[in-house]
């Protein structure tokens, strides 16, 4: 049986075909332009492929409340043309298959706990650090949605004393995304992150903010693992620096066996940047099972 997987990002959209074991059979990437152009390319890919169901993970905010009249919509995004857009309804009507839907970062988390190194862990947080910063949470084996869905990238930060940067986020300035996202790094330092690999002060500051976020998550959600993905986390030196910051900022308050083994507690994504699209396969599998029940 073939499943469709669709990861709609703010910059690019990935369309794929896969099987229930997470094997990707075919995959393409297209730019995320305006909705008409992007949806046309999406439908062209999936049309006549015989998919049993489609899993969709999208940038947001999105409406995940199935009782809401705007379920499946991208809601208040600043991305031109996509605000209050009926993503799920448009695709479901065109393809006439069951559609599973969640946030892009929940899709990545779902991929990791279904097919990756965090398989079968019941309490995990996934944070993606790239053009934006987002987070997904699974607790007692269930993805957290609640009122909307977690917006971990917008938790407010205690600003480092010598950091005079005002913050990139138009809503909060001193939130995690505003201070530590890829665009924030570029605006603060005048160069893209990949051009700053050898500048220790850049990554020490980045580790301070990401470490602070991890501490907040440990104290509020008590996860069994925290996964850090996204383009900024390709700077592999960050992991050791973040683990050090977490220890310093926790200051011995929480003592557990998991925190004694930081290398296996704060970890990189394990699926070669396919965790999002693999999570979409899982969303599709679950949507078909639910449709049949």
Distance CA 243, CA 178 (A): 21
Q: Sign of the CA dihedral 20, 24, 26, 31?
A: positive
Number of separate domains in the chain: 2
Mean pLDDT of the chain: 96
Q: Do 277 and 255 reside in the same domain of the chain?
A: no
pLDDT at position 146 is: 86
Distance CA 201, CA 65 (A): 43
Q: Mean pLDDT throughout 50-60?
A: 97
Could you tell me which residues come within 8 angstroms of residue 251 by beta carbon, excluding any fewer than 6 positions away? none
Q: How confident is residue 293, by pLDDT bands cut at 50, 70 and 90? A: confident
Q: Do 138 and 159 reside in the same domain of the chain?
A: yes
Whether the pLDDT of residue 78 is over 90: the answer is: no
Q: Do 199 and 262 reside in the same domain of the chain?
A: yes
Q: Do 174 and 63 reside in the same domain of the chain?
A: no
Which residue(s) pair with 73 in the sheet? 86
Which tens digit of pLDDT belongs to each residue from 115-127? 999 998 999 999 9
Q: 10 Å Cβ neighbour count for 282?
A: 24
Cα atoms found within 13 Å of the Cα of residue 256, Cβ hemisphere only: 13
Per the listing, tokens 């599973």 go with 100
Which tens digit of pLDDT belongs to each residue from 137-185? 999 999 999 888 999 999 999 999 999 999 999 999 999 999 999 999 9
Whether the pLDDT of residue 249 is over 90: the answer is: yes
Q: Which residue segment(s) compose the domain that 153 sits in?
A: 117-268
Q: Do 262 and 125 reside in the same domain of the chain?
A: yes
Concatenating the DSSP letter of every residue in 247-269 gives HHHHTTSS--HHHH-GGGTEEE-
pLDDT at position 183 is: 96
pLDDT at position 148 is: 84
Q: Do 82 and 204 reside in the same domain of the chain?
A: no
Within the chain, residue ranges assigned H as helices are 35-46, 87-95, 104-115, 176-180, 182-189, 200-221, 237-250, 257-260, 275-292
Q: Do 33 and 66 reside in the same domain of the chain?
A: yes
């Amino acid at each position: 049986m073939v499943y469709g997987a669709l990861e709609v990002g703010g910059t690019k959209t990935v369309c794929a075909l896969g099987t229930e074991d997470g094997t990707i059979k075919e995959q393409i990437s297209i730019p995320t332009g305006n909705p008409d152009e992007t949806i046309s390319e999406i439908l062209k890919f999936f049309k006549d492929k015989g998919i049993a169901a489609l899993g969709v993970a999208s940038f947001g905010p999105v409406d995940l409340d199935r009782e809401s009249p705007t379920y499946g919509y991208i809601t208040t995004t600043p991305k031109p043309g996509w605000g209050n857009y009926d993503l799920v309804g448009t695709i479901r009507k065109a393809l006439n298959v069951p559609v599973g839907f969640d946030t892009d970062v929940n899709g990545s988390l779902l991929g990791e706990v279904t097919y990756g190194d965090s398989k079968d862990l019941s309490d995990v947080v996934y944070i993606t650090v790239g053009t934006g910063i987002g987070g997904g949470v699974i607790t007692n084996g269930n993805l957290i949605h609640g009122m909307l869905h977690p917006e971990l990238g917008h938790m407010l930060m205690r600003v480092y004393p010598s950091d005079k940067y005002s913050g990139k986020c138009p809503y909060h300035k001193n939130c995690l995304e505003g201070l530590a996202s890829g665009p924030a790094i570029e605006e603060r330092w005048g160069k893209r992150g990949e051009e700053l690999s050898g500048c220790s002060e850049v990554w020490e500051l980045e580790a301070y903010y990401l470490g602070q976020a991890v501490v907040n998550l440990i104290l509020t959600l008590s996860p069994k693992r925290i996964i850090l993905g996204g383009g900024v986390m390709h700077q592999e030196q960050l992991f050791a620096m973040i683990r050090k910051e977490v220890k310093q900022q926790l200051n011995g308050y929480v003592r557990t066996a998991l925190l004694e083994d930081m290398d296996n507690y704060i970890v990189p994504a394990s699926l070669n940047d396919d965790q999002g699209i693999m999570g979409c396969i899982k969303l599709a599998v679950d949507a078909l099972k639910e449709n049949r029940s």
